[in-house]
């Protein structure tokens, strides 16, 4: 295991407390946790792509960044409207 795999593992573990926040607290707090989770996922995928030396995997962090933003916008829109 190289440094990038260790960093990806640490970043993946950091998502666990955010999952707990999303489960336990109010939905709007869960949305905040989900947004931070999207950032961590992008960084994790970036580290995994470099750690495994697979150039095609660099597309995944780009998709994660775009989809994380769009999903957050949709949730923010509907949470603000429904509550």
Q: Does residue number 33 form part of the binding site for other proteins (CB under 8 A)?
A: yes
Tell me the Ramachandran region of residue 26: left when phi exceeds 0, alpha when psi lies from -120 to 50, beta otherwise. beta
Rounded Cα–Cα distance for residues 25 and 44 (Å): 25
- Total interface residues for other proteins by CB under 8 A: 43
**In the chain, what's the furthest Cα-to-Cα distance?**
46
Q: Name the site residues for other proteins (rule: CB under 8 A).
A: 3-4, 6-7, 10-11, 14, 17-18, 21, 26, 28-29, 31-33, 35-36, 39-40, 42-43, 46-47, 49-50, 55, 58-59, 61-62, 64-66, 69, 72-73, 76-77, 79-81, 83
């Amino acid at each position: 295991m190289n440094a990038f795999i260790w960093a990806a593992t640490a970043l993946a573990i950091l998502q666990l407390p955010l999952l707990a926040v999303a489960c336990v607290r109010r939905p709007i707090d869960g949305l905040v946790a989900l947004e931070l989770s999207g950032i961590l996922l992008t960084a994790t995928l970036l580290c995994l792509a470099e750690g495994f030396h697979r150039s095609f995997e660099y597309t995944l962090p780009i998709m994660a960044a775009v989809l994380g933003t769009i999903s957050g916008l949709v949730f923010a829109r509907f949470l603000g409207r429904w509550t």
